[in-house]
Amino acid sequence: MRKTSSLFSILAIPCVLLLCAGSAQAQATRTWVSGVGDDANPCSRTAPCKTFAGAISKTAASGEINVLDPGGFGAVTITKAITIANDSVGTAGVLVVGTNGIVVAAGASDVVRLRGLDIDGVGSLGGSLAGVQFNSGAQLIIENCKVYGFQGGGGAGSGINFQPSGASALNVVDTQISSNGSTTGPLNGSGNVLIQPKSGGSANAQFERVQLIGALRFGIRADGTLAGAGATNVSLHNVIVDSSGAAGVTAVTATTGGPAVNVMMDESSATNNVGVGVRAQGATATVRMTRSTVTNNAQGLQSVMGGVIASYANNNVSGNGVDGAPTTTIAPQ
């Protein structure tokens, strides 16, 4: 009997250890970060983590990281469905120098939500790349955030750089994106928002109550010029595009045609832009406008290389250096 008992005890020890190890590696559906937290903690409400990067490894897929109090929580790369949320507890900062703020490289069916974040690239001194760099995922939702100061050299600076490799959606609501872009390097990838699907990718993007202010180059650029990319569709409702260093709203396709790029402007404005207010470039690029204002730009409307600007005949295009004109008028239905 003693031998049996001893043998049972010896066999039981590894089992207990395995249970303990499994428990230690378990991920929670909800975790917490705090300005006074520690990434060695389990990221619970009573023992929060210090950074988003520390918390994400302890958060289950489709879970949520919540902000307990104001703090700087650092850059993070997201590879799964997750929500990072600050619900009015003060500044939840992501401040970076010379790199990206948040990178989304998630799975094809993953939805990523960012809410209430202050994403800072430190302006020209920081040389930072993109506030939010999206590479893959089903959908990215950005709500009530501020993204500013991403001014990396060589044309790298961008507030939101949405470059999906698959069929992806972008939804931006109640957000301010400002002072992003670069004055050096290639012109086409620099500004507050770039939407540019990669080979095999396509984009459906919606912006609601968004301010795009003071881009060093483009306010928002929907770009279908990359080889192998699919269609890009962008909807702007109650969006302000103001004081861009180049064009305010741009839809552009490759000179040889390529996939369609469609931008719909509804109750939106393009104002005070150093270059063009609204520009369509390429035979498959179309900007449709209704109830929108284009004023105090060097040029109001510009269509080149077969680009189409279609008006519902209820817009205000006036007070520009050169107003320009839509290429076609759509009868309201």
Pairing state between β 139-143 and 118-122 = unpaired
Provide the pLDDT for residue 296. 98
- Rounded to whole angstroms, how far apart are CA atoms 164 and 182? 22
Provide the pLDDT for residue 153. 78
Nearest Cα to 276, choosing from 310, 258, 252, 250?
250
- Rounded to whole angstroms, how far apart are CA atoms 198 and 263? 18
Provide the pLDDT for residue 23. 39
Provide the pLDDT for residue 186. 65
CATH number of 71-329: 2.160.20.10
> What's the pTM value of the predicted model, to 2 decimals?
0.91
CA end-to-end span of the chain: 90
Provide the pLDDT for residue 188. 59
Provide the Cα torsion 121, 123, 197, 212; round to 10°.
110
Q: Is 247 helix (H, G, I), strand (E, B) or coil?
A: coil
- pLDDT tens-digit series, residues 225-244: 999 999 999 999 999 999 99
Give residues with Cβ within 8 angstroms of 17, minimum separation 6.
none
How many residues would you count in the chain? 333
- For residues 224 and 231, the answer to whether their CB atoms sit within 8 Å is yes
Provide the pLDDT for residue 89. 94
Residue with tokens 């970060």: 33
Q: Is 115 helix (H, G, I), strand (E, B) or coil?
A: strand
Residues of the chain with CATH 2.160.20.10: 71-329
The residues of the chain scoring below 50 in pLDDT are 1-24
- Rounded to whole angstroms, how far apart are CA atoms 186 and 190? 8
Which ranges of the chain does DSSP label H, i.e. alpha helix?
Answer: 2-24, 52-56, 123-126
- Rounded to whole angstroms, how far apart are CA atoms 6 and 318? 92
